Amino acid sequence: MQDDFLTSRASQDFERSYRGRFWRKLNAWLKGKSNELLPYDLVREQIPFDGQRDLGMQTINVDKIVGSVGRYRDFDRAFFPTQETTSARWISIRKAHYRAIELPPIEVYKISDVYFVRDGNHRVSVARERKQGFIDAHVIEIRIPIPITPETAVDDLVRQHAYAEFMQKTGLGRLKDVDLELSVAGDYGRLFHHINAHQYYLGLDGQAVSFRETAVSWYRTVYQPMLATIAEHDLQKQFPNQTATDLYLFVSEYQWLRREFLTDEKEESEEMPDLAALYSDEEIRLAIKTLRQQQWIDGLILEQERAHFEAYTNIKTIRPEADIRLSLAGKYDKLLHHISTHRWYMGEQQGHDVAYADAVASWYDHAYLPTVQIIKDDDVLSHFNNRTEADLYLWMVDHRDDFIENKD
């Protein structure tokens, strides 16, 4: 008689949990969340692993159990039953709880901050129905280079896989507090392209820099300064659905597109990575049309370009009084080209390679300042509203041949 009573109670508990599957699924859909358990095999397939270790017996949070090795279709994300075929085993475990019978610990894989059940799916399901907060488990930790949270959905795994692969190849996962998550998995290829472009620029000084060293340099000297500027302008409030790295791509590639397509001149090199290869012609036209309307980014780009110029040349250390400001995006690269050309001529005259710092000092003293002094002496700037001395320096140097020809 007692057994029949407990069987009836346990069966009612199962039916209540099973019948609620529709409402749980609807509630998850309305909140834009996943109601599916994460398949362990899919996680293993999508995310590179860095090894494992046995953590032994632990008491774990039931709410952090989000997946299963083999029974992920039999339960929903809250580990309630989705199929009646699981009822017999479920009811027998529920009866054991009513009888206060101690059950063996479950076995789980710990990946990041969540758990996947190796053995004990029904015990977890019953624990959920009982609103049990913790459960004993034998834990094996699987190490991965990125975080997985209880909110991670099956669809997120492809993006997580791309992120993990990016972090692993670049070695940036070794740095503290690095967050480079993107909304679209395919955009990590664009980040790789940015690092390759940075490697090209580092190589201009004859440096042999490994890809991982380049990635760290890119992160510290390009990405973080750009992110600081984005934070200063509070852009994420205007784009709440974009990650910080989404905005980095948007702003930095806008900078590239303006330099390449919205200025009247551009430098080309067969060795320089070609960002245009990432877009179709139609996409470029649409991007330019959209970006031309985003005038608020122009000031941000100029700040970033100026910061890069000053960091690359170390001009503020070499000549602390230097205040080289341009008003047009994409022009600081022309100044760098002028310095490189000046360095080459110095090397030809002296018969040996010239240190970059010496070339910067010489260019500033013997090329930039004399031209700026002419601009000041003739009060040329008063005839060009919203332009700077550096703007006019570039214009005068670029049109030097025209001056000579007209003089002749």
Confidence at residue 10, expressed as pLDDT on a 0 to 100 scale:
85
Burial class (CB in 10 A: 0-12, 13-18, 19+), 377: exposed
Which residue has better confidence, 274 or 22? Answer: 22
pLDDT in tens, 321-357: 999 999 877 788 889 989 999 999 999 999 999 999 9
Confidence at residue 262, expressed as pLDDT on a 0 to 100 scale:
45
Concatenated DSSP letters of 375-396: HHHTTGGGGSTT--HHHHHHHH
The strand order across the sheet containing 134-142 reads: 38-39, 65-68, 114-119, 106-111, 134-142, 52-61
Q: How far apart are CA 228 and CA 223, in angstroms?
A: 9
Q: Where residue 29 falls among pLDDT bands split at 50, 70, 90?
A: low
pLDDT in tens, 149-178: 787 776 677 787 788 889 989 999 888 889
Fold (topology level) of 2-148: 3.90.1530
Q: What percent of the chain clears pLDDT 90, i.e. is strictly above it?
A: 28
Residue 405 has pLDDT above 60, yes or no: no
Cβ within 8 Å of residue 17, ≥6 positions away: 80, 81, 125, 128, 129
Helix or strand or coil: residue 73?
A: coil
Supply the pTM of this predicted model. 0.49
pLDDT in tens, 123-157: 999 998 888 999 999 999 998 877 777 877 766 77
Confidence at residue 64, expressed as pLDDT on a 0 to 100 scale:
92
Helix or strand or coil: residue 141?
A: strand
| Per-residue three-class SS string for 111-137 | ECCEEEEEECHHHHHHHHHCCCCEEEE
Instruction: Select the highest-mean-pLDDT range: 18-32, 52-66, 227-241, 258-272.
Output: 52-66
Please provide the average confidence, as pLDDT, over all residues in the chain: 80
Q: Where residue 317 falls among pLDDT bands split at 50, 70, 90?
A: very high
pLDDT in tens, 213-243: 999 999 998 899 888 877 877 777 777 778 8
> What's the token pair of residue 406?
């007209």
Instruction: Select the highest-mean-pLDDT range: 63-67, 71-75, 182-186, 393-397.
Output: 63-67
**Domain boundary assignment for the chain:** 2-148, 155-313, 323-408
Q: What percent of the chain clears pLDDT 70, i.e. is strictly above it?
A: 81
User: Which of 210-214, 270-274, 277-281, 307-311 shows the lowest mean pLDDT across its residues?
Assistant: 270-274
